[in-house]
Structure formats: C-alpha cells, structure tokens
Chains A and B, each alone.
Chain A
Amino acid sequence: MAEAAFTVAFAGPLVTLQDAGRPGHMRFGVPQSGAMDRLAFDAANAALGNKSGQTGIEISLGGLVLQCTHGAATVAIAGGDFTVQLGTQKTRSWTILTVQKGERLSITAGKVGSWAYLAFAGRITAPEWLGSQATHATSGFGGGALQSGQTIILSDTAVREDRLGDIPKPDFQTSRPIRVVTGPQDQHFAKETVTQFLTDSFAVSDAFDRMGMRLKGPELPLAGALSIPSEPIVRGSVQVSGDGVPTVLLADHQTTGGYPKIATVISPDIDRLVQHRAGQSVRFADITSAQAVAEARSYAQQKAAYLAEVSVARGTLAQRLMRENLSHGCAFD
C-alpha cells in the first residue's frame, strides 16, 4: 500500500487532528470533542469517498503549511472561506487537490469562517484515546495538536484524479438567528433578561476556542445571588457567569459546571455558529423542544442528501469531457 509523509512547516495554535469524536464518556468528565463544524468536516471526507468520520486536520485561523516529503495524496479542503495555495496555484477552501512529493500546501485564514478541514485520501498515523483520534485540546489527549517541525505519516494513500475540482458548498443552512431552546436553568433569570437574550445582538469575543465562545453584549444578570449545584453541560449550552457574561460551550466543553444555563443552541445550528469570527454579531431565537427535534431531523436528512451528492466521483478529466460531449452533442467530431 502506498504511503506518504508531510512535514508541518508551520502550524498555528489550535490546529488539531479530529475525527467524529468519542461519545459516551461524559460521565467520566470527557466531552465528545471531534470537529467543531461537523458539516464541513463530513463534506471533506465525503468528497474523497472516505469513510465517514475518518481522521483529518482541523485548521484554525492560525493556519497550516505542509510540505510533502514522500509519496503523494489527494486531499480535500472544506469549511469557511480559507485561502489555499499549492505551489504557485492559489485557490480557496471547498476544493480537492493532489499534493505531490516536494510540493507545499498552505491553508490560511480567508475572509470568512473560523475553521477549515483537511481530509486525506489515506489514513493518518496518530495516537488514539478511548477509541478516537479526536484531540481534546486542553489535555492534548487523542491525536494531538500539530507542531511546526513534526512529520505526519499517512498509509493507504491514493491519488484520485477522478475527484479533483470544487466541492459544492452546502446550501441548506439557514441564515436566520441561531436557534435555541431556553433553559435548563432559565428560571434563575428574570423574564426580561431571557427576552433580552433573545432579542438583543451579541458579538463574538476573542475568547473563542474549542471549549467555548464567550459573547459580548448586554449583561444578563442572575436573579439573586445564587450558586446552583454543579450540573451536566452539553455542546451548545449557553452558560452565564456571575458577571452576567454568556458563553456558548463547544466541542471540548467541561462536562459539568455550576453556572446557570439560560439556553441551549440546537445541534443543527452549531456548525454555522462556530464559523463566526471575533467581532461578528450573533442573534438568538427560541423554538420549542419539539420544533428542535423536527429541525434536527430535517437537518440530518438534508445533510445526508448533500453528502451523498458530494461523495460521487465526477470522473477523470477525460471522462468528464466525454460526458460533456454526450450531453451537448458532438463537440469533438
């Protein structure tokens, strides 16, 4: 089987190996982790025909530069609008390229988005923890954060001429406010405070990493000085600290905590929330828990249809030309 090696010429902070994560260990203090934007991550793997959840690299705004030192591999880059450069060829994320020995691939922040995903036609050799290579950023457990100078070894690599080109972007994500179900501790806030949370605009602050996203905006005072017993937290919990500042907890969240949660972001909306950048504004809107379930089901259906479309190889250049000929008549007669 073919192998390839990439040297990390540069890795910014929070560039980590991620997969679908490790569900089922929250009772031991372990969040699921995995990709922050699961839709973009899944699209990158689907575009290569990879198994769903195959380990890839999550790239932060800090960026990543890889140098291929051995072998070759086709790669897919999806998520946000990052700048991609392969040798002298410049393009953007949502693309599939082949990186050959001696070539340099750089993926850096573009105009929009906070996270991009690099998937390989090939398997990354990396440590596992609890059955997953997803990196838990604060402990470093799992595949780990990439460090400049490190070498990434890939096995079962392939060059897939039939997959090169653009990846269609998903078009089913809404641009409406981020939808939440209020609670589970909304009773610790005055009614006006919950209303304010749902009507005012908040800005994403610089305190945004894999654990959570702190927001700037109107203060959300707690009704009375109270400390609640530490309670379970989920990805999407909006906890409000004693100073009235809300934080949305994300992929590497603590599993329990004593701050009241005013609302919880529904899972379909987390993918687009995490692509916001510091300074961008966010609004929230509440829906019922029954509506949230309906939205989750509809999102899952649309996502499955989209990934199925992305996963179809479009054929080599020759095959694509042939298909064009067949559908448009006889261009090459």
Chain B
Amino acid sequence: MDPQFKAIADHALLVTFAEEISDAAHGAVLALDAALGANPPDGMIETVPAMVNLLVSFDPILTEHDAIKTYVQGCLGASLKARTEGITRTVQVCYEAPFSPDLAAVSSATGLTPEAVINAHLSGDFRVLMYGFSPGYAYLSGVPGAIQVPRKPAPVRDVPAGSVIIAGPQCLITTLKMPTGWSIIGRSPTAILTGDPDAPFLFDVGDRVTFQRIDAATFAQLDKASDHG
C-alpha cells in the first residue's frame, strides 16, 4: 500500500494509506506505527495512529518533513512484517439496570431480546482502532452487525465514566463524565486509565478486547476498588 504524505505546519508529517476505512489501511497504519516505535528516526517526538493514517510528529530543530518522509519510505517494505497482533484485554461489564439505560431501545431497534443484544455484544471481535475525543477514549471496532444502531439525534449529558456505549460498528468505554449520543448498554468497573505510571492506559492501538459479563453485586465490589467514582 503506497501512502500519501502531507506536511503539517513545521512539526509533523501525515502518512495516509487510504481514503476509506478498511482493515488493510488500518493494518498498514499499525505496521508503520510499530516500525517507527521500534526504530524512531532522529528528532521524532511521537506517532499517533488513526483509522487510515499515522501522524509522525517531530522536533523541527532536529529534523524536517523530507527527512522524516525518506525515513518512513525506507520502513514501508519492512514494516508490514513488523505488525503485531496486539494483546487481548478483558473488560468486565454489567448490563443490568441502572447501568444500561439504552438496552431496551437497542433491543426494539434490532428486534432482538435484551438478552440476545447482550450475547451479541459479548460475541464481538473487538480491536482498538484509535484513541480520540478525550483522554483514554479508545474506539473499538467489532460491534456485530445485528446490534449496530445509529447515533441518537441529540447527545445525552453527564453520562458517567465507565459507561459501555455503542454506535454503528464501534464501541467505547468512557473514562470521564461526558455527553454522548451513543447508546449506553452497560457499565464497566475496569479502569482504562489505570493509574499505573508505567502503563497508564489499559490498551494500545491494535489490541484485542473481549467483554466479560458480571452481575450488579460483582460490579459494586469491583467498582469500589477501582478509580472512577
């Protein structure tokens, strides 16, 4: 996959693999991200993987766009082999009331029973596509077609941290009290912002995620031990 290069101001290069979202484009993003992470060019500050492109930011005192572009081109062939499969992370989720205010609406929109919606969600093959919006907001791909629902016309305010929300093919576990137009189908006690200085975020982009169902009593017990109040 031959990428396009775009200079961003004085301090970054955007490497774009495709116009449309596809597994191949995201795979190429992850492969290049891994290659640059393992062998960063001089002056690189960080990389930011997204759906179809990778941002490479750099210190303009030390390097410039053309040097980064040449370095990236040199990585492209080798980088496809460097792609990692990611680590599988487990996220616990309680689908019971009052943590799942939109479960009934998803159920009626899809014609499935609430129990079938839950089972479909648990069966999903989720991967971390990218982070965005707010710290720790990891966009997961892999919501099964049977329970894909559009966003609500207007966002709901003050949705608690830890909410498990879905829209279209994507799922997200919120980390802050925020407005959202996505459907809230459960609540997780699993901290995405771990509080561990050595590994402050539970996922890296490319990781796989499986959801594990817990009941309200287990949730209460685990939530007490975790960070979000």
Q: Is B9 an interface residue (CB 8 A)?
A: yes
Q: What bracket does the count of chain B residues touching chain A fall in?
A: 35 or more
Q: What bracket does the count of chain A residues touching chain B fall in?
A: 35 or more
Task: Say yes or no: A28 contacts B47, CB within 8 Å.
Answer: no
Task: Say yes or no: B57 contacts A234, CB within 8 Å.
Answer: yes
Interface residues of A (CB under 8 A from B): 23-30, 130-131, 136, 138-139, 141, 180-181, 183-184, 228-232, 234, 236-237, 254-257, 264-268, 289-290, 292-293, 295-297, 300
How far does the alpha carbon of A228 sit from the alpha carbon of B52 in the complex, in Å?
10
Task: Say yes or no: A264 contacts B45, CB within 8 Å.
Answer: no
Q: Which of B103-111, B131-139, B183-191, B214-222 contacts A (4 or more CB under 8 A)?
A: B131-139
Q: Is B120 an interface residue (CB 8 A)?
A: no
The residue among A29, A138, A236, A255 with the most chain B CB atoms within 10 A of its own CB is A29
A182 to B: closest C-beta gap in Å: 9
Interface residues of B (CB under 8 A from A): 6-12, 14, 16, 19-21, 45-55, 57, 60-61, 64-66, 130-139, 176, 197, 200-201, 204-205
Task: Say yes or no: A139 contacts B135, CB within 8 Å.
Answer: yes
Task: Say yes or no: A231 contacts B57, CB within 8 Å.
Answer: no
Name B129's closest neighbour in chain A (CB-CB).
A230
A144 to B: closest C-beta gap in Å: 14
A198 to B: closest C-beta gap in Å: 15
Q: Tell me whether A28 and B201 are in contact in the complex, defined as CB-CB below 8 angstroms, given that A255-B48, A264-B9, A296-B10 are known contacts.
A: yes
Task: Say yes or no: B7 contacts A289, CB within 8 Å.
Answer: yes
Instruction: List chain A residues, Cβ under 8 A from B20.
Output: 229
Q: Tell me whether A183 and B8 are in contact in the complex, defined as CB-CB below 8 angstroms, given that A29-B137, A254-B133, A257-B132 are known contacts.
A: yes
| 20 chain-A/chain-B pairs, Cβ below 8 angstroms | A23-B46, A26-B46, A29-B133, A130-B200, A131-B197, A139-B176, A180-B9, A181-B9, A183-B6, A183-B7, A184-B6, A229-B52, A230-B139, A231-B50, A234-B8, A267-B11, A267-B60, A292-B60, A296-B10, A296-B61
Q: Tell me whether A29 and B134 are in contact in the complex, defined as CB-CB below 8 angstroms, given that A181-B7, A266-B9, A295-B10 are known contacts.
A: yes
Task: Say yes or no: B6 contacts A293, CB within 8 Å.
Answer: no
How far does the alpha carbon of A228 sit from the alpha carbon of B48 in the complex, in Å?
17
Name B65's closest neighbour in chain A (CB-CB).
A289
How far does the alpha carbon of A198 sit from the alpha carbon of B101 in the complex, in Å?
47
B14 to A: closest C-beta gap in Å: 5
Instruction: List chain A residues, Cβ under 8 A from B133.
Output: 29, 254-256
Q: Tell me whether A232 and B9 are in contact in the complex, defined as CB-CB below 8 angstroms, given that A28-B201, A256-B133 are known contacts.
A: no
Instruction: List chain A residues, Cβ under 8 A from B21.
Output: 229
Instruction: List chain B residues, Cβ under 8 A from A23.
Output: 45-46
Task: Say yes or no: B14 contacts A232, CB within 8 Å.
Answer: yes
19 additional A-B pairs beyond A139-B135, A180-B9, A290-B66, beta carbons within 8 Å, are: A28-B135, A28-B200, A29-B134, A29-B135, A138-B134, A184-B6, A184-B7, A184-B16, A232-B55, A234-B8, A234-B55, A236-B9, A256-B50, A257-B132, A264-B9, A267-B60, A268-B10, A293-B64, A300-B61
Instruction: List chain A residues, Cβ under 8 A from B201.
Output: 28
How far does the alpha carbon of A30 sit from the alpha carbon of B45 in the complex, in Å?
14
